[in-house]
Every structure is written in structure tokens, then in C-alpha cells.
Structure 1
Amino acid sequence: MTDKQNRTLPAQPALCRILDANLDRSREGLRIIEEWCRFGINSADLAAECKQLRQELAAWHTAELRSARDTPGDPGTDLTHPQEEQRSSIQHLLEANFCRVEEALRVLEEYGKIYDPNMGAAFKQMRYRVYTLESNLLAYRRYQQLLRSQLYLVTSPRDNLLQVVEAALQGGLTLVQYRDKTSDDAVKLDNVRKLCELCHRYDALLIVNDRVDLAIASDADGVHLGQQDLPVSEARKLLGPGRIIGRSTTNAEEMQRAIDEGADYIGVGPVYSTPTKPDKQAAGLDYVRYAADKSPVPWFAIGGIDINNLDEVLNAGAQRVATVRSIMEAEQPTLVTQFFISQLIRMQSLKAQKAQKALQGKT
């Protein structure tokens, strides 16, 4: 009997049950992802792609497949795994459901070849679209988180690294950079992986200083490059479009070059002299004012900023700041983090009120 003749026979109940279960699984997973696209990040385009995929799947979900369903007789309904019982963060939830959808589509692609000659090809293309959706969503989510982040913690090597960072995360921190110029690579990789898991648990981003390889190996959210590091374009080739790339700048020329290269954000400084970079001359508040007026990309004032000089940095036009010692060496990192964030929010509110009054004065 030929393959064509085989396909004209009624489908086996087991085959229909497999297709039905995986159509359900993929549609449910896409709906969970769609809800975050719609309500979590307010992306109409990404939500629309999820909905379109769900509708295309629904078109294949025929009465014949649904009628084969036998939930009471399915031994898989009692199977579970401890990891399925908990979700530590939004990122974990999204990753789990993308995995669920992609696996289901692969099953549909293979078994669908038996059920309908066109089914395998259709689900193969859907699977590739879901891969693209996943990349776009993660990139979009990371960038939106970057835009929302006002305080940036750059770490320094210390025995209680994880404890200090977690204390800052508990204070509302959403952006961390792992910086360590002295430890062995094995230690760095171990630290980055632990920090990545910790930051993602708090829905925060983790950026790796300098090392593209460590960022890739740990699945970190991006890298921060100094002036002597890889060009942004080369880092992008290695990291792909979904991760964040930042660049340190100390003057207007370096700023423009970083923007032209495609940096997602820039560091502006050092504003003050700092032992973190003893060989760097302070760029001063004039450069902060220049960045406030000229930079089209998000930027963080950095270098020697603490609770005593924060106001003058904000008054110079900074809306985002990065700090090292103020948090890493603090006795109470949570409280210091909360203070920084409260001052940043206060200044943002004052500027908004000032802009509104100016607008009202023109009417």
C-alpha cells in the first residue's frame, strides 16, 4: 500500500489524540505569552502575532481531532515535575511557555506529516515564527526594562557579592553590571551565572562588563564595553539582536561614535574622580549637561556619584545614574538603593511638573 493510500484511510485514534493534545498545548502556551505581550509590555504587534498564530492553530484543530480526546484515559495527566509547580519570575514563565509551544509544534510537525500532507510544512513554518517571536519578545522586554531603569549598580569583587546585590534588588534595583578585573575566568563565570539567576528572579537585567564570551555562556542580558574593547558591531554579531550592548564614553566624540555604532545605552563619565578608574580624568558636570541635551539613547551618569553629590548630578540633567561603592560598600544596601531611586523619581516628577507648567503658560 502506498503512502498516499495510507493517508486516505481514517486516522488512528492515537494519532488524533497526539495532534489534539499538542494543538491544545501550543495554543495555551501562546495565550500565556500573548497576555504578557498585551498587558506586561503593551506591545500590540507582538500580541497580534501571538493571536495570529493561535488562530492558525485553531484552523487545524478539527472536530475529528477533538472527538478523539480521552482525558480520563490519558496516563499523562498525572505526570508532573517540581519545576512545573513554580515560576520564579516573568522571564522564567515566558521561557517555559516558549519551550512548551516549540516542543508541541515539533510534535505536530512530525505526526502531522502522517495525518495531512500539508500539516508538517505548516507547523514547521509556525515553529520558525515562534523562534522569531521569542527573540523579538526577549529583545523588546530587555530594552523596555533598560528604559525603565534609573539606577545601575556596577559591582566590585567581594566575598559577599551575592548578598549585597540581592539586598539592592530588594530595594528596587532593576539593572546590574558584573565587573571584575582580577578573578580567574572560572570564578567569573560562576559568579555571572549565579548573578544572572538572582537578577532574573527579581525581574532585573544582568550586564557583563567587557566579556562577550561570559555573557553568552551565562545567558546574561548583555555586555558593557569600554573604549578599548570590541567594536559594538562585532559584539552584536556574537550576541545577536536580542541582547543589550552599552559603551563607556568620556566626551562628545566618544558619545557620537558609540551612538553611530549602535550602542543601546552609554555611560557618561566619570563625572567625578573615582578609585574604580584612577587613570581616568573626571569628565565633570559639563559632560552630563551635554549628554542631557544631545544624547538620543538612554545614558547613565557614572563615576564617583554618591548620596552627597547626587542632587548636583540630577540638577545637571541626569535622569539615570550608575554607582559602585555607594551600594557595594554600604552597611545597608537596600536602604541606600531605595534612597537613590526615591531621589531619581523625585527629580523626574519635578521635571514633569515644570514641563507641564511651561506648557500651560503657552496656552
Structure 2
Amino acid sequence: MNIERKDLLLYAVTDRNFLHGISLEDAVEQAILGGATCIQLREKAVDEGELINRAKKLIEVCHRYNVPFIINDDYEAALKCGADGVHVGIEDAPVAEIRRIAGKNFIIGATAKTIEQARLAESSGADYLGVGAVFPSPTKKNALRITPELLKEICGSVSIPAVAIGGITAENVKAIAGCGQSGIAVVSALFGAEDVRAAAEKLTEASKAAL
């Protein structure tokens, strides 16, 4: 397994639009110091060259603390910049194709909203799943909602770990307690906080309590 369950306890997904006057590098470091166990760089509005430049700065921070660094969607950029892996959505490149190109040691995460999608991702070579949105999400307002019951069914249908995502806060995560997730993925609840490190600490404890 390229990523362990413990690496998904607090999976931080970046969004510079939420930052309060600090650089993304500083925000990511504060998140890690507060307990973030994996970092995903999400940049929807830049070209590949700029994505790689931004990624390299974060790789240095993440690897300083032995935290896996994932790029959203673009597996080619992830391979070029030396990222540990990629996370792909249902509409992105197939997991099997990425695994064939990237090799066995590259981390591949895949979004799953149904049991069928989860099982296909696992059989195609995915290392972990992202399942959601479990709550209304400020970053993906039209995202399909996943009930706690379906989250539990999806997590139980595969042997690879799954991280819950979508509108998760330290306060509402208790609603998915015991659903089988290995952790939570957060965006605004972390990078939108005035004190990123303190938010990460609170989210880490909440994630542990919900396992």
C-alpha cells in the first residue's frame, strides 16, 4: 500500500482563496504542525508550468515533515514535479491508465460516490478513495450529497482506505462517526481559519473521535 490509513486522518486540500494574509507555503506548514497528515494541492485556474512551480514549493515543506503530497487532477504535472501522487475525479483520467503510466509506487486517490465506483477504483489500482460530499460544501456548491449510511456502505465495500470530504468541520464531523472512514478531507475549515495551526489541531482531534 502506497499510503497508510493514518496518513488520511486529516487530509488538507488547499485553496488560496481562503487564506488570511499568509502564503500558501506558510499555511501548509502550519496545517502540518497542527496535525495534517496529507496535503493535496488544488489549483484549477493555472497552467501546467505554474502548477508545477507552486507544487515544488509545497513538496519541500511536506517532505520536510514526511507528509505525503498529492496534486489534484493532473497526474502528468504530479509526475513531472516529483509529487507523491494524484487525486482524480470521476471525469478525470482513468485510474488504470494512470497506474500503467506512473508505476506501482505512485499514490492514486479516486473520488467515489457509489459502491460501484469505489469497487472499480480499487480494482483499477487506486490506493485510497475520497467519498463525498458528506455535507454542503462551500467549494463545490453543486456536489452530490452522500448520506452517512452510503458513506458507511462505500467504506465497507472496499479494502482500501477512504477519506470523507465535503463541508466537514470540527463541529459536524460527529455526524459521520463510525462510518468507516480513515479520516476527513477539509478545505475551508482549515485554510479559511484565522489560525490554521489551531484549526488543524481541533480538526485532528475531531477526526480521531469520529473514526
TM-score (norm 1): 0.54
Q: Does 1:152 align with 2:25?
A: no
Deviation at 1:156, TM superposition (A): 1.2
Post-superposition, which runs of at least 4 consecutive aligned residues in structure 1 deviate over 4 A?
none
Percent of aligned pairs with the same residue?
A: 32
Query: What amino acid sits opposite 2:6 in the alignment?
Result: R
Contact 1:288 1:316 in 2 (8 A): yes
Aligned equivalents of 1:186, 1:293: Cα separation in 2: 39
Query: What do residues 62-96 of structure 1 show as CA deviations (whole Å, max 9, x unaligned)?
Result: xxxxxxxxxxxxxxxxxxxxxxxxxxxxxxxxxxx
Aligned equivalents of 1:180, 1:314: Cα separation in 2: 30
Q: When you count helix as a share of all residues, which structure comes out higher?
A: 1
Aligned equivalents of 1:225, 1:167: Cα separation in 2: 26
Aligned equivalents of 2:176, 2:170: Cα separation in 1: 10
Q: Does 1:186 align with 2:45?
A: no
Please tell me the root mean square deviation across aligned C-alpha atoms, in Å. Answer: 1.7
Higher-RCO chain (CA-CA 8 Å, sequence separation at least 6): 2
Aligned equivalents of 2:78, 2:193: Cα separation in 1: 27
Aligned residue number for residue 70 of structure 2: 207
May I ask how many residue pairs the two structures share in their alignment? 206
SS of the residue 1:207 aligns to:
strand
Deviation at 1:279, TM superposition (A): 2.7
Aligned equivalents of 1:347, 1:233: Cα separation in 2: 32
Aligned equivalents of 1:317, 1:260: Cα separation in 2: 19
Q: Where in structure 2 are there 5+ consecutive unaligned residues?
A: none
Aligned equivalents of 2:179, 2:199: Cα separation in 1: 21
Aligned residue number for residue 94 of structure 2: 231
1:327 to 185, 190, 194: 190
Query: What amino acid sits opposite 2:112 in the alignment?
Result: T
Aligned equivalents of 1:248, 1:312: Cα separation in 2: 21
Contact 2:69 2:84 in 1 (8 A): yes
Aligned residue number for residue 4 of structure 1: none
Query: What amino acid sits opposite 1:259 in the alignment?
Result: E
1:249 to 112, 126, 143: 112
1:298-317 to structure 2, matched below 5 A, reads 298-317=161-180
Aligned residue number for residue 60 of structure 2: 197
Contact 2:73 2:86 in 1 (8 A): yes
Aligned equivalents of 1:347, 1:269: Cα separation in 2: 16
Contact 2:161 2:182 in 1 (8 A): no
Query: What do residues 322-355 of structure 1 show as CA deviations (whole Å, max 9, x unaligned)?
Result: 111100101111111111212333445xxxxxxx
